[in-house]
Homo-oligomer: A and B are copies of this chain.
Amino acid sequence: MTDMLVVGSLALDTIHNAQGTHERVLGGSATFASLTGAFYTGVNLVGVVGTDFPDAIVHQLRERGVDTSGLEVAEGKTFHWEGRYTDDLTSRETIATDLNVFADFDPKIPEAFRDTPYVMLGNIAPELQLSVLDQIRNPKLVIADTMNFWIDGALESLKKLLKRVDVLVINEEEARQLSGRHHLIHVAGELLDMGPSTLIIKQGEYGAWLFAGEDVFSAPAFLLEAKDPTGAGDSFAGGFLGYVASKDSTEPETLRAAVIHGSALASFCVEGVGPARLLELSKDEVEARVKEFQRLVDFSHP
């Protein structure tokens, strides 16, 4: 059994971008991570939605091999985020964050999910991420995402969490904030000292770095005209972990390839609004893009 467990948010977002306003767009860290992980392996999803969450989406997730039996439907509305992206997509402004049923989210891992070997802790409160760890048994690899909000507001819990996760995925700015260092060599050293054996620093339009013990890997950015960056980081993490789970290996060579698969999924994610592009994507397209990533960095030196 090499399934993956995804715990995080599901949302119905309102997104304003150069193309206009998009209402009730499927969002949330668990959503994107499940959709991308499911390209590689079975996904056990744990999260909460409100009674307004469309059944059709739950069916779509199931069709893709996502086990939704850990999806709690609570009285009330689904988590809603509203934001506006600048035309060049380099920054975004949050207009509204309505937690709704997500405010009381207390992840309950169904008994059938507790032995899932590969575990993704989406970007939720570190206390909740810790609570998930308390409920699972003998994971082979735990990956956690976090953000500035928790570094600012829940640093002690975050530090406790880091002692118990294998892979931290974090963007560059937040990595600098959490480590208090500037140069990536020092940033990586500090963060690895905090607990995880593996660190992935996402640099957006500049690619990503993987530090797996002594092994250092640079993943290129993929140049394309993005439509909507929402969910790119979660698509990355889901694709990364799905690939790892499908290989049932945590060797550096596997992690390197997994970073590229995650990057490929993230590059597709941003091509559509919300998960639109991911929902129409084929595995062949993913493989073709991975080959494009390989070609992007290929050189011989006779």
Interfacial residues, chain A to chain B (CB-CB below 8 A): 88, 90, 182-185, 203, 205-207, 209, 216-221, 223-225, 247, 253, 256-257, 259-261, 290, 294, 296-302
Contact = CB atoms under 8 A, between A and B. Distances in A.
Contacts of A294: 299, 301
Contacts of A300: 253, 257
Contacts of A223: 184-185, 209, 216
Given A218-B207, A218-B220, A182 B297 contact: no
Given A206-B203, A207-B218, A218-B207, A185 B224 contact: yes
A294 B297 CA distance: 9
Contacts of A183: 88, 225
A299 to B, nearest CB: 4
A5 to B, nearest CB: 24
Contact of A260 (B218, B253, B299, B302): B299
Nearest to A252: B299
A172 to B, nearest CB: 10
A301 B296 contact: no
Contact of A299 (B90, B184, B256): B256
A207 B297 CA distance: 11
A300 B260 CA distance: 10
Given A207-B218, A217-B297, 9 more contacts: A88-B183, A206-B206, A207-B207, A216-B296, A217-B296, A218-B296, A253-B299, A257-B301, A257-B302
A259 B218 CA distance: 16
A217 B257 CA distance: 19
B297 A218 contact: yes
Given A90-B182, A206-B206, A301 B290 contact: yes
A258 to B, nearest CB: 9
9 contacts: A184-B223, A185-B225, A206-B206, A207-B207, A207-B218, A219-B297, A257-B300, A290-B301, A297-B297
Which of A206, A297, A299 has the most CB atoms of chain B within a 10 A radius of its CB?
A299
B298 A256 contact: yes
Nearest to A188: B223
Contacts of A90: 182
A207 B203 CA distance: 12
A261 B300 CA distance: 11
A257 B297 contact: no
A220 B297 CA distance: 8
A24 to B, nearest CB: 29
Nearest to A218: B220
